Structure 1
Amino acid sequence: MDIKEKIGLFPDSPGVYLMKDSSGRIIYIGKALSLRKRVSSYLARELSAKTSRLMANVVDIEYRATATESMALLLEASLIKEHKPKYNVSLRDDKSFPLVKITNEEFPAIYVTRKREDDGAQYFGPYISAGLLREALKIIRRNFPYRSCSTLPKKACMYYRIKLSPAPCIGKISKSDYAETIKQISLILEGKNEELVKELSREMRQKAKERKFEEAALLRDKMIALNTFRPSLYNAEAALNELREVLRLPVMPRRIEAFDVSNILGRQATASMVSFYNGLADKDNYRRFRIKTVKQSDDYKMMAEAVHRRYLRLKEENLPLPDLILVDGGRGQLCAAKKELEGLGLVISIVSLAKREEEIYTLFIPRPIRLKNNSPALRLLQCIRDESHRFALKYHRLLRKKRFLNEEKSG
């Protein structure tokens, strides 16, 4: 496949592109709001002398998709720092670009600056856009609250009231807990989201074992937030080809539908279904279900209800079926969903993905499949599974909020 054909498969979404020379060395890294449009512009006839020199040395281009352009900005900076590409000279050398500063204090503050000082603080960057950088920090702060004031005040500020600061000024967070938050933010700024997800997952399991369910839920929410803006490291076409081969699918899995359930001890139980086409989210075809027939906490029955309702409707309306169904969980969830398909007389390929060890369960072999962490197929399944979980949780929270408001009115 030549570069032009490869670029044609790039998504029309934000991300970072990496240009390589004949030796496989990365010589330029850039970010884009639309990967396909931005990278296609390098094929134009009229290029500047500098860009022409660059393209004369490019033999391959890869991409890493992100949820937003602002998160692409963070990824771009961390990759440039790691690889030091030959043609990214301006970002490496220019002293006027914005930085993120984490101050050297008992409770460090985080803010944007253009001046690097010898003051013991941590600095991240430089970044090419102050506006996008501030947008990225807002996204991070919503899930990892931190202080941004120049000096600690004597009383809590507005940011505490809107849950963007943990208020160390009035002792609302311990030094050790705040230090952990700063460590997590540093990992995000370094582009080490995968490492952070693993750390949060370990902590969440430990809190659950200790029956500290509220703390475990907070860690879970952080993981979900991370999954919405961590870089997607897969090439869609490569992922789909690998999926077809590994799962022995009869057709290329162009359309994949994924299910997840969300509930607290059976209350306000919901399920979500997300749809991906050619490896990209197709949000117009997302669906959500309020569980009606299951009153107790039973993930298998809840999954079965959602699958039954979805495909009964497709069957009755004679609508196209997906090439592959993905359910969140292990063999139990897989068998529950498969039973519903059989009851409807439908033959659709179906697998499940268990979160703890990222094992893939199928119906054709008794043992789960384990793919390498850098497998494009596994990356795609993880991306779809995480999106279905996010979507289910969002609906679950909406119902909980409505119930709370109704109880307040009736009270």
Structure 2
Amino acid sequence: MANMDKIQDKLDLLPAKPGCYMMKDKHGTIIYVGKAKKLNNRVRSYFRGVHDTKTTRLVQNIDDFETIVTDSEKESLILEINLIKKYTPKYNIMFMDDKSYPYIMLTKDKAPVLSVIRNPKRKDVYYFGPFPDAGAAHKTKDLLNKIYPLRKCKHMPNRACLYYHLGQCLAPCIHDIDPEIYQKMATEIRKFLNGDTKAVVDQLKNRMMEASEKMDYERAQEYHELILSIDHVASNQHVEFADKKDQDAFNYYYDKGYLCIQGFFIRGGKILDRALSVTPIYEEVEDAFVSFLMQYYQKNPYPQILYLPKDIQTDLSEVFPCKIIKPQRGEKLRLMEMVKENAKKSHIDKFELVKRKDENRNEALEELSNLLGKKISTIEIYDNSHISGAFNVSGMVVFKDGKPSKKDYRTYKLDTYVSDTDSMKEVIYRRYFRLLKEQGKTNDLLIVDGGLGQIHAAKEILDALDIDITLCGLVKDDKHRTASLMDSEGNILPVKKDQPLFFLLTQMQDEVHRFAITFHKKLRSKAQTKSILDEIPGLGSVRRKKLWNHYKSMKKMKAASVEELTELVPKQVAENVYRIIHEEKKDF
């Protein structure tokens, strides 16, 4: 902590009103966002008394702070989450699942579609979930699509597709289907997804018996396997409640600076699934717990009832548009105790692994900081990829506090290839010229995936732009594996292969190589696919687009038969497509 005189002057001016505060480090970066009923008491507490180890780490990095006064605690809650979302401070608890949990969606169209989606926002559909296990969501959706001949395509085609010929679609694209047929299927699917599987199982058993009586044993076996699949899907729903409303129950367990948050999702009276988070925290337990919930429900629908532990004092009833209950006795208290016990068990099971990873990252960054003589927190690393100069690209990955920050990754299409060093010059110039133009903040360390030649290329550009940044290169051995770290003067920095820093460097090198080569392959595949389809007689832009939208990749298109291709294009064109793409020997 620095500049205590400036901090003390600002502390004296703090009001006794609700609001949010933002702690900053010496670079002006916001490292923590908090809320308070009374800003003066809460902010002063950081600079008085003794703190635990983790809070001390936060306080030691505070160089300045800002506050925003709000009219109510409700406003401060909402503002805090928006600030966390905007600045992603390193010391705040973060809801890590950027994509949120998947839901099964059943549309209310004339010909309904069943699919797995994330970020449910539409109001004109039915949602079922959440499913913390994405595999379970897809298995359930696939199972129901086998049982019910729903429409499978997102957009209505002009002709019947393969699913119609397989008996898995009624082909509303070419037939007028009685609305009551789809309505009956939709009703049964909703019952199934709400936990009532008996009607579907009874129906399948009847079909299985009818098939057996007709000696259609292959079809009878299919029905039998579907019944077993339903039993498997429903087997995890072993705890039942009389209340059939949508309910979420969250509880936590805290020990040794790490917080485990556990959530149970109850749908149709059954525990559908659960989610958990084990993470180190630098704030008060209640603040972290409430912040996690606020972030979670920004990305997921609210239940009808939300159960919270009775020791949470923050009033969320004004923020969450659902009924909030803190059980004191009975069945729901036992539910909360079960959630807490699961949180405790998860904490015990995962604590050592999470702690070890956290400690290894800290140790690696500390070792790197000592080697370079400055504190290292944010690292950018670059790698180029091309084939004989073609499809020349570069990838940039970013690590913050030893963890990949994927939202900061960037890809670059480079100019015509001249040399590896010229490619490095181009990507460094484009990156840092834009950073200067936008007045962005530079990182603590720039690493190029290469030796002295690549380092000199990057340094030439940085010097020309008058940017002072620590620069290193990752040197590989003759087997293209991470060997050592080289500074901008060409000196090899001592990195032992059994130390955390070596493993961090290896992880960064593997990640930037994966990222760059993936982008390179994507561009190459698109170009090759386009050139092949352009050669096919009778395949104009409309038909090419139709094929590509349906198959998504050349691999899937190659796997299609002429008959399947004929469902999308005329037979002669389908035969041309099949012949030419199978003559093509390139690897896609």
TM-score, length basis structure 1? 0.46
Which one has more relative contact order, counting CA pairs under 8 Å at least 6 apart?
Answer: 1
* Larger of the two Rg values belongs to structure: 2
TM-score, length basis structure 2? 0.33
